[in-house]
Amino acid sequence: MCQVFAMAQWNTDRILDIGQNALYFEDYVLSIQYFNQVVKIKPHLAEPYLYRAEAKVQLGDYQGADQDCSEAIERNPFLPQAYYIRGFARRKLEYYKEATADFTKALEFSPDNLTYLMNRMDSRERSEDYKGAMSDLDLYLKLNSKNPNIYYEKGRLQLAMKDTLGAEKTYNEFIKADSTNVLAWSARALIRMQKDDKKGALNDYNQAIKHNSTYFGDYINRGILNVETKNYRQALSDYNTAIKYDKNSALAYYNRGLLRANLGDNNNALSDLNKVLQLDTANTEALLRKAMLEITVGENRKAINDYKIIIKKYPYFIPAYLGIAEAEEALGNQKGGYQYRLMANNIEKNKDYINRKNKQNIQANNKIVTAQQSTTNRKTELFNRFTNQNKEDDNNATQAKYGDDNVRGTVQEKYTDIVNERNFVLTYYAKTDEVRRTNTYYPALDQYNKEKKISSTLKITNNELALTAELVNGHFDAINDISTRLAADETNADIYFNRALEFALVQDFNSAVEDLNKAISLRPNFMLAYFCRANIRYKLVEYVKNNTDPNNLAIDKNKKISTEKQSRFDVEMIMHDYDKVNEMNPDFSFAYFNKANILCTQKDFKTAISNYSKSISIDPDFAEAYFNRGLTYLFIGEDAKGLSDLSKAGELGIYQAYNLIQRFKK
């Protein structure tokens, strides 16, 4: 007994060490898998929860980190790092008062820890406790007076308190303390620019850039100042440099577009404005400028379309009506031009009434860099995922456990499409993924493989491999061989099942279904055949859906009705097969999962969630079920449950969940 205990002690310590190594080398997803093992073996230990929380913070899973830190603190309330990490997570979750309490607790254990102190200052500032935040800054200066960057924080805090004079004085001290610090010059330049001290602001931006600023905003703002002093060549250079440092800055493209237009470089100006609208589809100012330029270069139809978009948003905006009139007249449509001028005239006559009813204005001027804006439409993104949930993605090559760059470092920064994890199927080939924890072992399948009734070993996967030409030819040969065997023995369900699998691999779904029908008629309790038939029927439904021309259906209403009826019937047949699988094998979690996916496409989200939950109750490590259920919760507006499920999915190896947590955590 003692020897077994010692070995277990050594194993968990060793696993914990390896997990910490992975954490240190920024292999966060892998480290979580090690900490999971320690939690399962020794759930009374605080450390694995603490380290797992740290990894989750690095991945942007702040809710999961909060929960893990609470578990660690419950087991050992004397871990300052646990309070610090939980405070950090809570601050990211915008629980500022709770975060402040955690940082205060961490400081009780470590009163001189500057990191804890700065984090508490930030939380206090965000909760608008400016007095407390300033107190923390003063304490920081006492503990570390050699850090000049603290002046930046103090000045920023003074600006939050609307003490502009105090902030400028602080930034003067900052420059005096470190005249080579880019941040000092940039901060004071912005204050001077907002005070309309153009000469002083330009001098400060010159100094910031002289000291090798890489902040795109410094170049945009200096460009604006150079435009105002008619130094157009330098302004254009500044905007070019801003774009070099931030290729997705709509503001840089917008300001450069305005400058190019003013210089008569209309085609390049249009290119910039198109880029702005690509980055920020709601930018009406850019759309207005674009429409004006399109008339200048003779692209009148495009201008009319753009002005109409503006009118839809601003129905009383006179310049848009006049712009359409000008474009119509340029196209020779004098009557159309007159009608739009008449509409503009009517608005002008009634402008007092309209202004009282609906105040609106569009200003198309240079913009200084103040705050970043977002135009993401969250609900639209979530909705679109249901249209593509089962599409193949053959770009994900099999990766070695330690060589997969896709799961190393801060994977939450890698953009993830909002698409459900695909259905699980039975096949001979599967891409390996050693990070995910989903249990794909099933006793009935294992027994069937041992009996060697078919030509290859079957696997459960939702990550199928695309076949090479050589493999495809091999499966065609196999179909011929199996057909010869069937000619000699037409009552063998396993041979029909085998050929159905081969047909499915070469994408002959109709023949596969026919063989599965025969196998089931010969063996009515053939659970694996029911599961395969449901999967292949669903692939057929998806194939038909994605290869039907909606324009033809719109023209032929009878055909549309017939197609919709057939689709509903096919889905009912698929669901019946999955129900039959679970009737015979109630613990086969993959049938519930696949059924839930289809219910999502039918917009029956509550029943889908129930089925995902059933699959999770069978396999508590079913990563894909947590992921899909999380997305479904987010779509129906139950964000807390959705983020919790995505956190669990990330913990179980679906690293894409961390990117979605980043995007939908608010």
Average pLDDT by consecutive 10-residue portion of the chain (666 residues)?
A: 40 81 75 87 95 92 95 96 96 95 96 92 93 92 84 88 91 91 92 92 95 91 93 95 93 95 94 95 93 95 95 90 94 94 89 65 61 28 32 36 42 60 91 77 94 92 77 84 92 95 84 95 97 93 68 60 78 95 96 96 94 96 95 92 93 86 70
Distances (CA, A) of 407 to 309, 389, 401: 43, 22, 9
Give start and end residues of each alpha helix (H) in 229-377.
232-245, 250-262, 266-279, 284-296, 300-313, 318-330, 334-349, 351-357
Structure token pair of residue 550: 């909606």
Give the separation between CA 253 and CA 271, rounded to whole angstroms.
9
Exposure pattern of 409-425 as b/e (b: 16+ CB <10 Å)? bebbeeebebbbbbbbb
CA distance linking residue 453 with residue 497, whole number of Å: 10
Asked if 237 and 252 touch (Cβ cutoff 8 Å), the reply is: no
- Cα of first residue to Cα of last residue in the chain, in angstroms, is 51
* Long-range contacts, stretch 398-401, CB < 8 angstroms, 24+ apart: 398/431, 398/432, 398/465, 401/30, 401/434, 401/435
The pLDDT of residue 361: 61
Phi, psi (5° rounding) for residue 250? Answer: -60, -35
The answer for residues whose C-beta is within 8 angstroms of residue 381's C-beta and 6 or more apart is: 418
The DSSP bridge partners found for residue 426 are 460
Which structure tokens are listed for 443?
């006793």
Phi and psi at residue 427, to the nearest 5°:
-155, 170
Retrieve residue 344's tokens. Answer: 């503009």
The pLDDT, as a whole number, for residue 354 is 66
Per-residue model confidence (pLDDT) at position 327:
95
With tokens 């279904």, the residue in question is 513
Buried b (16+ CB within 10 A) or exposed e, 607-627: ebbebbebbbebbebbbbbbb
The C-alpha atoms of residue 118 and residue 98 are separated, in whole angstroms, by 16
In this structure, the strands spanning 459-461 and 425-427 are: antiparallel
pLDDT at residue 191, as a whole number: 92
Q: pLDDT for 347-361, tens place per residue?
A: 888 877 666 666 556
Burial of 387 from C-beta contacts in 10 A (0-12 / 13-18 / 19+): exposed
Cα(34)–Cα(210) distance, rounded to whole angstroms? 48
Measured CA to CA, the distance from residue 243 to residue 231 in angstroms comes to 19
d(CA 310, CA 103) in angstroms, rounded, equals 49
Cα torsion through 489, 495, 500, 503, rounded to 10: -80
CA dist 100 and 123 (Å) reads 6
What is the rounded distance in angstroms from the CA atom of residue 126 to the CA atom of residue 152? Answer: 16
- Token readout for 416 is 């993830």
- Reported as type and span, the H/E element at residue 425 is strand 425-427
Contact, 293 vs 270, CB < 8 A? Answer: yes
Structure tokens at 115: 């990191």
118 contacts 91 by C-beta, under 8 angstroms: no
Q: Give the domains, in start order, of the chain with CATH numbers.
A: 214-375 (1.25.40.10), 405-409+414-664 (1.25.40.10)
Ramachandran angles phi, psi of 461, nearest 5°: -160, 160
**Amino acid identity for residue 294 in this structure:** E
Give me the sign of the Cα torsion angle 513, 517, 523, 526: positive
The pLDDT of residue 517 = 97
Which one, of 567, 656, 623, lies nearest residue 385 by Cα?
656
